Amino acid sequence: MATADYEAVPSVPREESPPRVGTVVMKFGGSSVADPEKLKAVARRIVAARESGGRVVAVLSAMGDTTDELIDLAHQVSPNPDPRELDMLISVGERISCALAAMAIHDLGHEAISLTGSQAGIVTDTVHTKAKIVDIRARRIHEALDEDKIVLVAGFQGVSTGLEITTLGRGGSDTTAVALAAALGADSCEIYTDVEGVYTADPRLVPGACKLPAVTYEEMLEMSASGARVMALRSVEFARNHGVRLHVRSTFTGLPGTWIQEEDERMLEKAIISGVTHDTSEAKVTIFGVPDRPGIAARIFRALADAGVNIDMIVQNVSAQGHTDISFTLPKTDLQAAEPILERVAAEIGAAGYTKDPEIAKISLIGAGMKSHPGIAADMFDALAREEINIEIISTSSIRISCVVRAEEVERAVQAVHRQFELVAAERSGA
């Protein structure tokens, strides 16, 4: 096999892959390239970045709902599409966006080249539909940039170590952009979307929510894991691990957005709380009448893990009679896979049975400042109590407090907690 300019991600330190001065990585989501006019507007923004002196690499998502439409098409043809062929199908959406954007850039008088994920040197593991990036081989990108071309890379995809086309799962284009920024030594990665940045709460629920100039990687990780849809969790993890600063901003305005980065002196005086997130995609399961003896929880959660079921919050209550109730949350999409396992395990361990409850929601309060401020949890619980909202499960980390409530109460819960901490008036130090 021919050798290639090779930057391993993550095994080779960035110092061994010298930064190319002025390299800009820009990522545009599906809503940003949803139709031909928006694609041409994106092309103009990319050209403006090139004309300002930057070496430009742009990662594009599929247009609008193209990926969902392709998945639906696959299921119309086959009730259980083969994963390899599904990847072959759904990888075309991003290629269409890149080719069309390259045409628009040519019309603006600049040279551009569109590359598939494999042509760009994005190497993944062999897991179809949810592959992970293992290497970036950027020789072809560097050659094109050295020829003063704008490089357009199809997001969400790569080539496996077994030389098969793979896709990266939801949020894969974000991960593509961050991985390329790390491998190319870019100072930052600009994530263009249909919102102006990261807000203190979902503006659709809280009209007074305000945009945050900056948040830490840890805060953004907690927000993404707790329901915020601005950034994919995996891409934020990648950015933190490789020191890539992220700038989330709107495709449709020239305003600055939100910087996601390591905490520094400029952020030390930030507000205690960064925001309130909510998530209605989970269900609650309770296994009741569980014998109180060692190893029971391990048997339950090992069986679920082996089936690929993701578990979030867990609470265990022991009764005076020596029996235990174990409640936990999981994605609603995992319920179907979990139920036969729950029935089998409940019988094996001698539990009385289990219940499932899809009508729940999770509300989370997040802020790096809460580590040094006692009483935050009490204030959150007070706000919910005043609205007569019952808390069913509580989970915490050093910078997050999450509560499970009834799904129909989540809007009032978010508004009450946002109001409690006066986040409308929150001010954050910018980048």
| Whole-number pLDDT of residue 116 | 96
CA nearest to 259, candidates 12, 429, 92, 84: 429
What is the enclosing helix (H) or strand (E) of 290? strand 282-291
Q: What is the pLDDT, as a whole number, of residue 240?
A: 94
Environment class of 398 (CB within 10 Å of its CB; exposed 0-12, middle 13-18, buried 19+): exposed
Under 8 Å between Cβ of 26 and 56: yes
- Residue 257 has which token pair? 């957005």
Neighbour tally for 72: CB within 10 Å: 10
For the chain, state the CA radius of gyration: 23
Q: How far apart are the first and last CA of the chain?
A: 44
Is residue 129 left, alpha or beta, with left meaning phi > 0 and alpha meaning psi from -120 to 50?
left
The b/e string for 142-168 (b: 16+ C-beta within 10 A; e otherwise) is: bebbeeebbbbbbbbbbbbeeebbbbb
Instruction: Give me the long-range contacts of 327-330 (CB less than 8 A, separation at least 24).
Output: 327/284, 327/285, 327/286, 327/287, 327/392, 327/393, 328/284, 328/285, 329/282, 329/283, 329/284, 329/285, 329/360, 329/362, 329/393, 329/404, 330/282, 330/283, 330/285, 330/304
Kindly report the number of other CB atoms within 10 A of residue 425's CB atom: 10
Tokens of 332: 């609603």
Q: Domain locations in the chain?
A: 7-194
CA-CA-CA-CA dihedral for 115, 116, 118, 120, to nearest 10: 30
Q: Distance between CA 220 and CA 82 in Å, rounded?
A: 35
Burial of 21 (0-12, 13-18, 19+ CB in 10 A): exposed
Long-range contacts: 309-313, Cβ < 8 Å, 24+? 309/334, 309/337, 309/338, 309/341, 310/334, 312/282, 312/362, 312/395, 313/362, 313/393, 313/395, 313/402, 313/404
User: Is the separation of the CB atoms in 365 and 272 below 8 Å?
Assistant: no
pLDDT at 370: 83
Tell me how far the alpha carbon of residue 85 is from its chain's centroid.
25
What's the rounded Cα separation, in Å, for the pair 331 and 283? 6
What local confidence, expressed as pLDDT, does residue 16 receive? 41
CATH architecture classification, 7-194: 3-Layer(aba) Sandwich (3.40)
| Claim: this prediction has a pTM higher than 0.85 | no
* Whether 182 contacts 14, CB under 8 Å: yes
pLDDT by residue, tens only, the chain of 431 residues: 333 343 444 433 333 444 445 899 999 999 999 999 999 999 999 999 999 988 999 999 999 999 999 999 999 999 999 999 999 999 999 999 999 999 999 999 999 999 999 999 999 999 999 999 999 999 999 999 999 999 999 999 999 999 999 999 888 999 999 999 999 999 889 999 988 999 999 988 998 899 999 999 999 999 998 988 888 888 999 999 999 999 999 999 889 999 999 876 555 455 688 899 999 999 999 999 988 888 999 999 999 999 989 899 999 887 666 678 999 999 998 998 899 999 999 999 999 999 999 999 999 999 987 877 888 999 999 999 999 999 999 999 889 999 999 999 999 999 999 999 988 644 444 44
Contacts of 207 (CB under 8 A, 6+ apart): none
Angle in degrees, 0-180, between the axes of helices 66-77 and 83-90, rounded to the nearest 10 = 140
Residue with tokens 């050798």: 3
At 7 the pLDDT is 41
